Structure 1
Amino acid sequence: MPSSRALSVAQVGARVGVPIVIFLGCAMILSRQVPSDILLTLPAQLAGIASWQWGLAAVFTAGSFFAVAQYDVQAHRALGTKVPDGRARITGAVGIAIGQTVGFGLVSGALARWRMLPELNVGQALKLSTMVSLSFVIAWACLTGLVCLVLPAPVWTSALSVGALVLVPGLAALLFFRPTLTFGSRAIHLPSLRISASILGWALVDMAMAAATLWVLLPAGTMPFVTLLPLFMIALGCGLMSNTPGGVGPFELVLVTAIPVGTEAEVLAGILAFRAVYYALPALCAMLAMLRPLTKPKSMTSHPAHWHDLPSSEAQALRQNDGCVEVSAAGGPVAIWSTSQTRTLFTDPGNRANARMLSWLQRRARSQGRIPLIYKSGARLAHAARRAQWAVLHIADDAIIDVKDYTLDVPARRRLRRKLRAVTSAGVTLRSGCAPPLKDAERLDAQWQAQCGSARGGSMGRYCPDYVSDQWVVSAYSDTELIGFASFHRGASDWCLDIMRHAPDAPDGTMHALVHHAIQDAHAEGFTRVSLASVIACPNGSSAFWRWAAQKALIAAGGSGLRQFKSAFAPRWVPRYAAAPTWLSMIIGMADIARVIRNPIPLAAPKTSPAHHQDENYELASHSAA
């Protein structure tokens, strides 16, 4: 059996030998198509290129490399390296200029990036180079097929067009519905739709500018630009797949084969001039740049904030779901929730709800290639978003109990009084301030999920003992048997209802009694407000569409029972809003929020990460209503 070293030597030999064989094969074919006497005229043809053509070609090359540099910007955003855009553009242009000229762009480009960015290690540079290379190949496949569909192209390219029409929507669906691919124990996070769209856009600019560089170096009338562009993109792809330095061989073969007969000398001269301007000159500039790599940036000290510092205790819902607390440019901590497509400001930021908050959120979202989204904000931030011409939507109403004014002796709470009397008659006892027994709580959670469906994630919750141990929990017992419990987030000035679990045979009114008891506990602890979390709202009652949509969402969230349950406490209903820069951003962002809620990330193992439970927030959930 051959040794692993022998296999590695064979692999390296194949990687080096195959491009050489491809180049020699293309050279042999070209030698048959292009007579030797034509090659002798190339110096004269090059001398005939006017100075304005060289100058315009240099301008188009600069434009192409500006677009090329954006690949690294998007890759850094996707990988979360926190490298500023300016540094990413410089290193991207250098890495691609070196990689496309010397060949083996994956390795040579990674080495160039590693040299230019001292804050990256070799592994990070290789990962960055891999993402840039793969994303460009995919972008090339999509764009080449679409360009061949709309511009004059050879008949045989129809297969590329059909492939692109299938590939583009298929990739979009994959990036949205399966943003993380798992291979064994390794998870690969795919770029967001926003990053992918940016890569496609910059790739089109890049290839159009590169084709324009070649076009201006050809004699006038050789072929229209709209005819050259698809041929250029096909030739570029053939060169990429050959892995020869600069695509030498396949690139020339495709173009020379497709040009009109009798213009071989002019086209070859144009290609030689193109290689000098587009490959040799940028590579020379890149090598000079690598003599003095960028200096390592100074590390910035951050001041961490705590979940309990947030204006709303409901924001603690994100502790189980990749949320974090950040200090915004507007001042003070805010809850940030990053999904695959969005960077979401969750819940109301209090008195920091202003235009500065919107600008800060947009910058932070752009730095990660995500959509800025506001989810469940108050009226003040929604008003600021409207003034900034954002799309704003009334999505929910929070049920707020003002603890100091809370009393049972009002007509609006007569149904609550009846429920509490029934629980008292059934002999149910309540205990608060400590977590219920683990096995009993897990049993109730399993029974609840069997009856109501799997617990949702995102801004909603799943039972986890580590997390519940950090909450205020009220438990209900029938004799010594646990029959229900409710947990509450605790903030600086308020509590918020989180999860509720009850046995199928628990007496009617058990959950009412748990919440009523917690409100009394909050009053005793000196808190002024208890939120019973939110229920779905109709964004526009005068619109038949929104009435229909709200009704469908309400049914999916468990029907009207949740609102009826909370209405028994006669709460003060406070509107909550979603906002995004455009309606398209709103649709994508809210759809991504719904996806995360229905398909939450796996819970961390006990004792490793606090969990969150917010089963009372059913804005976008299905039948998992308590």
Structure 2
Amino acid sequence: MMKRLLSGQGARAVQLAVSVSIGAVCLWVLHGRLSAGFWHDVAVELRGLDAGAVMLAIGCTCISFFALGRYDTVAHRHLGSDIPTAQACGAGTAAIALAQTLGLGVLTGALARWRMLPDITMALALRLSVFVCLSFMVALLVITAAVSLALPAPPALFWPSILIIATLPVAVIALFSHPVVTLGRFTIRLPSLRAFGSILIWTAIDVLAACTALYLLIPGSDVGFAVLLPLFLVALGAALISGTPGGVGPFELVLFTGLPQGDAIEVLSGVIAFRAIYYAGPALIAIVLMLRPFAGQRGAKPVPQNDISTAPRAEIGVIRQNGGFVADHCAVWDTGQTLCNLFDPVSPAAADPVKTVSSHARARNLIPCLYKCSARTAVLARQRNWFLSHIADEAVVTPPTFDTATAPYRTLRRKLRAAGKAHISITQATRLPIAEMARIDRLWQHAHGKARGGTIGIFSPDYLVQQKVFLAHEGDHLVAFASFHHSSREWCLDLMRHDPAAPDGTMHSLVHAAIRSAARDDIPRFSLAAVPACPDPSSALMRRLSLIVLRKMGGAGLRQFKSNFRPRWQPLYAAAPNRALLVLALADIARAVQRPLPLADVGQPHYDDENYEVASRLAS
């Protein structure tokens, strides 16, 4: 332990020495370019600074530090610290004020955050500091490239800026496609697009306000703001990369190299005044604030509620496999970019689900979305001017009145007879034959492709033991099985697996047996789960796209299979604050379904039988 501590201190000492050396070299180079009597002229300029310009610069500094504090709000939400927003902003502002002045930004900022927030550990403080530093540098890179292309900038910045802007769409797609990455034994959750968008906005406000403060403090210069801004951004980046205290040296050298030599006195006067107002002043205030850190006041964290035995929608049991949880009587699921409110509320005591998912999504830097909700919940979303889409139709039967003897069930009776002639026997499992079921699952995946996840099942013994499971045997040989979510008010079809060589009618027999069992238990509602909504006949484009989706996801076959049970088809909806966010949310859900996280990362697994998570039409 002592060796690690000493080695860490040694590394920091070396880093500090290197940073100070860089600053000293830059200042030496800069000093060689100054003429005799330069500092006397600078002193004269400083004494002549306009009081109004100084006050405006102080105002711009306040705006900049307000934006700086918001970085920590985004970071705390990303890392799930549950620190109240006001405390996160205050601690972040103080930490950045000290870090940018003293240098060694990550370590200095982490120590300041740890001091200001008694509810966090040093490890979390370091993670917050790293998140803020890295995300700010990336955002600064993007903004610098955009500004360098839009405003007069040194020619050397043109092609690097083109490269950065050209790779930005690729980076966004990668961030969307891979919200979680694994590096060796470490699993890292990347910032969501909403988080990075927030960082980008606050960074733009921060650097524009800071540059304006410097511009106001350069007395009588002919340097225009459009010329100063690109150089200021490059100088700021150089200062941050160097790690020198206050960025002294690299910052000044970049400015003096890029600006006209005739303005050297005015520029240096402005930089000195800028350092006093933007660096020294906030650092002194931060030191005073750190003398009295915040009191412990951890925000209320949603406590996972596992008892869903009385939920009106048994399908809520899917949260046992996708990492979802119940908050404020609503089942929510994090898909990477989106926080989905799954189905309808768990309890009649639930508050407005739209408000619930919005608040929890904001607390996680995610897009809020209602997913597979009924018309009743969709009305609440419409009242809040959310955009709606009819994405699926759920097949529902009533077990107590389900009777296959009537004429509409001719096809189902034929399927059941075929299974009977093949000597298929159906039993409800009291003990799961895991090895045989795993074999069936492997055969099924070999025939149908890799199992999907999210709201669609992946075979897992720990998941199946919480369900009703029915087994189909041909003699003593297991050929298929089906599992069902269950509550006191509903059963819902979930996982279905079968041997490709299973006799015709086997899966029909499994579902039929489950409906009969639910009838004996007086279960009033039995869901065969959902299928993609039918194509929109009013749009040739949407009809063509929908048919592609139906073929790819097996929607037509699923609808035909479930239609044999003569269900009532009930529409299900998705909703988000606007059309663009709904499209992004549905794409994110589709990604989470097609490429689910490993079970170790999300908890346990649901079947490929459901609505395949792609809207077949967008309708207001």
Per the alignment, in what secondary structure is the counterpart of residue 263 of structure 1?
Answer: helix
Residue 208 (str. 1) matches residue 204 (str. 2): no
The answer to whether structure 1 residue 450 and structure 2 residue 451 are counterparts is no
Q: How far did 1:219 drift? A: 2.1
Q: CA deviation at 1:170?
A: 2.8
Residues 289 and 555 of structure 1: is their aligned pair in 2 closer, same or farther, counting only changes over 3 Å?
Answer: same
The residue aligned with 2:251 is 251
2:359 equivalent to 1:363: yes
Specify the alignment match of 2:531 in structure 1. 535
1:508 aligns with 2:509: no
- 1:356 Cα offset (Å): 2.7
Quick one: which amino acid aligns to residue 228 of structure 1?
L
2:340 to 327, 340, 344: 344
User: Which SS does the other structure have where 1:508 is aligned?
Assistant: coil
Query: Structure 2: how far apart are the matches of 1:524 and 1:497?
Result: 17
Shift of 1:311: 2.5
TM-score, normalised relative to structure 1: 0.94
Match of 2:311 in 1: 310
Report if the CA contact (8 A) 1:91-1:116 is conserved. Answer: yes
What's the RMSD between the two structures over aligned residues?
Answer: 2.1
Cα–Cα, structure 1 residues 302 and 82, in superposed 2: closer, same or farther, change >3 Å?
closer
CA contact (8 A) 2:392 2:611 kept: no
- Please list the CA deviations of residues 86-111 of structure 1 after superposition, one character each: whole Å capped at 9, or x if unmatched: 11110110000000001111111111
Match of 1:78 in 2: 78
Tell me what 2:402 maps to: 406
Give secondary structure in 1 for the equivalent of 2:571: strand
Amino acid corresponding to residue 320 of structure 2 in structure 1: R
| Cα shift readout 1:451-470 (whole Å, capped 9, x = no counterpart) | 01111100000111222122
Which amino acid counterpart does residue 308 of structure 1 have in structure 2?
Answer: S
Q: Relative to structure 2, which stretch is displaced further, 569-578 or 298-307?
A: 298-307
Task: Provide closer, same or farther for how the CA distance between residues 265 and 464 of structure 1 changes in structure 2, counting only shifts above 3 A.
Answer: same
* Contact in 2 for aligned 1:117/1:293 (Cα 8 Å): yes
Deviation at 1:258, TM superposition (A): 2.0
The one of 575, 578, 583 aligned to 1:582: 578
Report the AA paired with residue 254 of structure 2. Answer: V
Aligned pairs (5 A) from 1:220-259: 220-259=220-259
Bigger mean CA offset, 348-357 vs 232-241: 348-357
Q: Quick one: distance in 2 between partners of 1:6 and 1:285?
A: 32
Residues 317 and 614 of structure 1 are in contact (CA less than 8 Å); yes or no, is this contact kept in structure 2? Answer: no
Confirm or deny: 8 A CA contact 1:382 1:392 kept in the other structure: yes
CA deviations 1:413-438 (Å, max 9, x no partner) are: 11001111111122211111424411
Shift of 1:292: 0.6
- Are the structure 2 counterparts of residues 304 and 425 from structure 1 closer, same or farther at C-alpha, using a change threshold of 3 Å? same
Distance 1:617 1:509 in 2: 20
Q: CA deviation at 1:385?
A: 1.2
Question: Is residue 380 of structure 2 the alignment partner of residue 384 of structure 1?
Answer: yes
Q: Which residue of structure 1 lines up, in the alignment, with residue 608 of structure 2?
A: 615
Structure 1 residue 387 displacement after superposition = 2.0
Counterpart of 2:271 in structure 1 is 271
Q: CA deviation at 1:221?
A: 4.6
User: Using a 3 Å threshold, how does the CA distance of structure 1 residues 122 and 290 change in structure 2: closer, same or farther?
Assistant: same
Following TM superposition, by how much is the alpha carbon of 1:615 offset from its aligned partner in structure 2, in angstroms? Answer: 2.5
Q: Write the distance in 2 (CA, Å) between the matches of 1:566 and 1:597.
A: 22
Report the secondary structure of 2:68's partner residue. helix
1:610 and 1:495 map into 2 onto residues whose CA distance is 22
Is 1:572 the counterpart of 2:565? The answer is: no
TM-superposed CA distance for 1:386, in Å, is 1.6
Q: Which segment drifts farther, 333-342 or 5-14?
A: 5-14
Q: Secondary structure at the match of 1:497?
A: strand
**Paired position in structure 2 for 1:32:** 32
Equivalent residues of 2:82, 2:301 under 8 A apart: no
Write out per-residue CA displacement over residues 233-289 of structure 1, whole angstroms, 9 at most, x where no aligned residue.
011011111111111011111112222232211111110000011001101111111
Residue 351 of structure 1 deviates from its aligned partner by 7.3
1:169-208 aligned at under 5 Å gives the runs: 169-208=169-208
Paired letter, 1:402: T
Pair 1:9–1:424, CA change in 2 (3 A): closer
- Kept after mapping to 1: 8 A contact 2:484/2:492: yes
Taking a change above 3 Å as real, the CA distance of residues 196 and 302 of structure 1, as seen in their structure-2 partners, is closer
Q: Show the counterpart of 1:495.
A: 491
Using the TM superposition, give the Cα deviation of residue 178 of structure 1 relative to its aligned residue in structure 2, in angstroms. 1.5
> Bigger shift: 485-494 or 258-267?
258-267
Report the more deviating stretch, 158-167 or 478-487: 158-167
Determine if the alignment matches structure 1 residue 262 to structure 2 residue 249: no
- Structure 2 distance, partners of 1:580, 1:244, is 46
Stretch deviating more after TM superposition (472-481 or 56-65): 472-481
Query: What letter matches 1:315 in structure 2?
Result: I
Gaps of 5+ in 2: 616-620
Amino acid at match of 2:321: Q
Find the counterpart in structure 1 of residue 618 from structure 2: none
1:473 equivalent in structure 2? 469
How far is the alpha carbon of 1:16 from its aligned partner?
A: 2.0
The SS at the match of 1:139 is helix
Q: Is the 8 A contact 1:99 1:106 kept in 2?
A: yes
Shift of 1:355: 8.3
The 3-state SS of whatever aligns with 2:531 is strand
Q: Structure 1: any 5+ residue segments left out of the alignment?
A: none
Q: Which is worse superposed, 69-78 or 179-188? A: 179-188
Distance 1:554 1:345, change over 3 A: same
Residues 368-377 or 27-36, more deviating: 27-36
Query: What residue is the counterpart of 2:326 in the other structure?
Result: 325
Preserved CA contact (<8 Å) 2:587 2:614: no
In 1, Cα distance between the equivalents of 2:89 and 2:6?
A: 40
- Is 1:91 the equivalent of 2:87? no
Aligned residue among 594, 606, 609 for 1:598: 594
User: Paired residue for 1:160?
Assistant: 160
Deviates more, 1:489-498 or 1:163-172: 163-172
SS for the counterpart of 1:489 is strand
Quick check: 1:517 aligned with 2:532? no
In 2, Cα distance between the equivalents of 1:5 and 1:70? 32
Q: Which moved more, 1:10-19 or 1:132-141?
A: 10-19
Which piece of structure 1 moves more, 347-356 or 516-525? 347-356
The answer to whether the Cα contact below 8 Å between 2:119 and 2:298 also exists between their aligned partners in 1 is no
Cα deviation, residue 308, structure 1: 2.2
Q: Please say if residues 231 and 255 of structure 2, whose CA atoms lie closer than 8 Å, have aligned partners that are also in contact.
A: yes
Question: What letter matches 2:240 in structure 1?
Answer: L
Equivalent-residue separation in structure 1 for 2:294 and 2:89 (angstroms):
12
C-alpha separation in 2, matches of 1:214 and 1:295: 36
Q: Is 1:138 aligned to residue 138 of structure 2?
A: yes
Separation of aligned partners in 2, 1:74 and 1:118: 19
1:149 matches 2:145: no
- Alpha carbons of 1:389 and 1:355: their partners in 2 closer, same or farther (altered >3 Å)? farther
1:573-615 C-alpha deviation (Å, 9 max, x unpaired): 000001111112111111111111111111249xxx9733222
* Partners of 2:138 and 2:92 in 1: CA distance: 18
What secondary structure, in the 3-state scheme, does the structure 2 residue paired with 1:41 have? helix
Given the superposition, is the C-alpha separation of residues 384 and 467 from structure 1 closer, same or farther in structure 2, using an over 3 Å criterion? same
SS in structure 2 opposite 1:375?
strand
| Partner AA of 2:179 in structure 1 | P
Give 1:620 deviation, angstroms.
Answer: 3.2
CA contact (8 A) 2:118 2:295 kept: yes
AA matched with 1:199: I
Q: Deviations over 1:532-583 (max 9, x none)?
A: 0011104633122221222111011125211110000000000000111111
Cα offset, 1:301, TM superposition: 8.4
Which residue identity lines up with residue 613 of structure 1 in the other structure?
H
2:110·2:122 contact (CA, 8 Å) conserved in 1? yes
